[in-house]
């Protein structure tokens, strides 16, 4: 990396990215955790983090990928950008293709003419320079993601539509009203999207440990209303309790299944502890409070998806956004109340678990 790139990396760190000693060349899995553009978890751009080092993102490209994602106001995931680079070039800045695609992000010359940027400020837009190509990739993907969000009727999540547009051109996405099917071009675009979405989990840093504990440094942002603080704290205390459909969530960690939690009773009891009354079922909770942009949640917001027994119009599952790109949920029978990433819902490849709506119970 050049001196300018290193300085930009330090600026990225200043936005809330916590960097480990990966620069020392240690051959271990290392993490960069992100807590929103303002560094306080209040921004609903749940970009998560990157897994750095062996099996993850090469260290020299991590700050570039994180910055490219953070510069997009549409909720672009750095893990998806990293998986896309892996698919395109295997992180090889000198990669070329028989079709004429160039560089680490495999831009065609005509596309580069439109989307190329001078990322390192050296006066050139160089497709072979990752410091230019990765910001350009993020800029192009951000535009495509915005298009994807504007077509909720298309087949595929917004990020899947964006990836398909990057690979085949947005015209093909319009043609097929979604991700082109396996029958198109021998399934090249279909499998491109599928592979990247699957690989993105490999590049995402875990933001919570396997035992469900919160990441180091987790805290609610300054200005969080007392009701939200209480509701979030109460919900988090129920972690580890078994799911029970119809359970009233009055003794989540006890022995009586009737008092365990299901998804909506967890939300109801959390807000009841804060002195706020909300309905019992997801079908009614989705009408509570005010609707907010799904890319701008705040702690305490209720996050809905269709679940196994609902639909986009009548979501059957709900969780609570707790900041720092995290959701607390009572998921399903046989699984304990847990923390998951907002990104895993926002960019889910299944409509059952893809976010349908976000509601703010307490305005702030």
Residue 258 CB partners (closer than 8 Å, separation 6+) = 244, 246, 247, 248
Question: In what order do the strands lie in the sheet containing 338-341?
Answer: 290-292, 357-360, 302-305, 317-323, 326-329, 338-341
C-alpha 206/C-alpha 32 separation (Å) is: 9
Lookup: tokens for 85: 């680079």
Catalytic residue chosen out of the listed positions 74, 88, 160, 329:
88
Q: Any catalytic annotation for residue 88?
A: yes
Q: Which long-range contacts (CB under 8 A, 24 or more apart) does 63-66 make?
A: 63/5, 63/8, 63/9, 63/12, 63/13, 63/17, 64/5, 64/8, 64/119, 64/130, 64/131, 64/134, 64/135, 65/134, 65/138, 66/12, 66/17, 66/32, 66/34
Residues with catalytic roles = 88
């Amino acid at each position: 990396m050049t001196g300018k790139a290193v300085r930009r990396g330090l600026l990225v760190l200043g936005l809330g990215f916590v960097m480990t000693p990966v620069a020392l060349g240690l051959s271990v899995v290392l993490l960069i955790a992100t807590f929103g553009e303002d560094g306080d978890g209040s921004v609903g751009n749940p970009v998560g983090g990157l897994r750095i080092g062996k099996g993850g993102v090469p260290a020299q490209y991590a700050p570039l990928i994180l910055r490219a994602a953070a510069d997009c106001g549409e909720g672009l995931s750095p893990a998806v950008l990293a998986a896309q680079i892996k698919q395109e070039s295997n992180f090889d800045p000198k990669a070329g293709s028989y079709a004429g695609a160039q560089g680490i992000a495999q831009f065609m010359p005509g596309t580069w003419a439109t989307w190329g940027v001078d990322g390192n400020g050296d006066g050139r837009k160089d497709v072979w320079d990752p410091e230019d190509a990765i910001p350009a990739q993020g800029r192009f993907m951000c535009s495509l993601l915005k298009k994807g969000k504007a077509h909720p009727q298309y087949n595929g999540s917004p990020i899947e539509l964006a990836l398909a547009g990057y690979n085949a051109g947005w015209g093909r996405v319009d043609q097929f009203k979604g991700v082109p099917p396996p029958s198109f071009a021998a399934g090249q675009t279909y499998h491109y999207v599928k592979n990247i979405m699957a690989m993105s989990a490999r590049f995402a840093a875990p933001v919570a440990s396997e035992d469900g504990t919160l990441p180091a440094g987790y805290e609610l942002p300054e200005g969080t209303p007392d009701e939200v603080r209480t509701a979030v704290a109460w919900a988090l205390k129920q972690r580890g309790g078994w799911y029970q459909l119809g359970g009233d969530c009055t003794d989540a960690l006890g022995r009586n299944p009737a008092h365990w939690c299901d998804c909506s009773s967890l939300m109801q009891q959390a807000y009841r502890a804060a002195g706020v009354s909300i309905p019992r079922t997801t079908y009614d909770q989705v009408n509570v409070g005010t609707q907010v942009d799904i890319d701008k949640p705040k702690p305490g917001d209720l996050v809905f998806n269709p679940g196994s027994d609902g639909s986009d119009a009548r979501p059957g599952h709900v969780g609570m956004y707790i900041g720092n790109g995290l959701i607390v949920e009572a998921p399903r029978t046989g699984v304990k109340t847990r923390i998951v990433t907002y990104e895993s819902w926002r960019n889910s490849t299944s409509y059952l678990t893809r976010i349908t709506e976000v509601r703010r119970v307490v305005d702030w």
